[in-house]
Structure 1
């Protein structure tokens, strides 16, 4: 039987206490969730010899999370990824949102959901549910949005993350978790370049010089973006003959996932670490998956084990709607109306390759 433990993780400058909620399953795996940013701060998993290690990047103290925004394990919103020029329209009305990534808006703007203190609504034996209310006009977005983030660690070594949202006026929503994984261990001092990656996608979205999708849906066949069969992440990450690798300084692109089952769920990606035998299988009901190879980790961020995180020390796999969907109708819709409920589901399944 899993159990939840709640402890203080520090105090915000305004005096609000940040809580850390630790879930533990019968196999000894743990997941620690912070109310700051609805953040997955730690996740332990066993290797082929039974040795546990923390496999997500993150900081040991609240002060480090507050010092610089690096998105380690956070919940991002209202809109994950980028929106061109921070502008979109709903029913003919134009909205301007905060731009914090050059000329574009990224992960909800300057003060996104990752910078907020969420509230614990429920901390049952195996799960914690956090809530957040984003007021009308927050970062320029219309509608008052009520959001929940639920983390549940089950006894089959799967961490379920579920996001829901409702609104009182038409708006756009795209939530995801932004964990960086290193299956050898976040304190191992090794990169993820030898990790074997499989992505269930036949196409990806090329981007322009500002990392906004061009609108093209490009087949991955014959390119460094082809992970339809297991491939080491580092095999082609420095292939300068590919313009998209040059633009992203590695991988920082959205994949078009294959269709899911009747419930919308599908296996989106599998990552295997040959050194430890740890395997991460990611399932989601979202149509896209952002692959980010930690290109801009520069040694200034210090991890929980006291080691500096450097380029490609972590791998982010972010299930989501496609970037800039509100401005590109061919990508579908990110709209949420009153009376409807937005829902996005992620499952991280942990196992061992012996």
Structure 2
């Protein structure tokens, strides 16, 4: 495509189960790429969908197929409501990540539901989606996918850090983009906040009121994954197998939150060189206790941008990934995922 102006939706559903992030954006290609987020919304999941998303990792094949169809229909309803509410027209495409059910790149398996061809028919829009599959087929991790956006839209910062269900980071090194998952974040913190009657630890208040347990902190920091060099990526399978049995030794949820928040801060700080700039986005950017803990362990300049960008950077970048796919330009970087080559990934469906 030879367009230089792109009117698109970007859609993201993260592992922290906050909901579906939808952003209406325009992307413009001149000498450099620029963007504008016009309007964005997080549509929180109804309980029955959220419960199924939480349990789907244990579904059999038939249950997965049925839920994929159900979730795709639900996603279509959500998108149509968003388009109608904000009276959006002349969209070039809807660019959607889907929701990850399992991610096992070592076995060449990854599944993001909500990416069925019927989505295009239900919303009557061109859809670009399923960005991970091709990369896994090329022997890549299929993740992270955001770094191409970090490079081309946020290149003024030394590091880009996303604090969502997992923490992932990207930066330039020797003229290559390097990116990888650092550690779990909100998939664990939200789990313990729920035990205290809240969906998340607002501002890190629960963690701040807790006590760090040094024995469990040391066990967490000594997990083998943290000695792996990039490319590396994480999924809920790893969290269930490696994290919770350590934290279950801590009987007070506030203490578990304090211990794990400190663990996250240490793991993030270990990735950072001194006197650099760090752009922080994702829901964890509002966890001031965590942000202060990162500052305690490093001397980078931490920049938390305006709320619209903090909450919707991933949705913005998936819109960008879709645009790059429509232009047949690379949107997956081998230096990031470990794939055999850079490539343009994503399926394109038309109504």
The structure whose RCO (Cα within 8 Å, separation 6+) is larger is 2
Q: TM class by shorter-chain length? A: under 0.3
Q: What is the TM-score normalised by the length of structure 1?
A: 0.27
Structure number with the higher strand fraction is 1
Q: What is the TM-score normalised by the length of structure 2?
A: 0.27
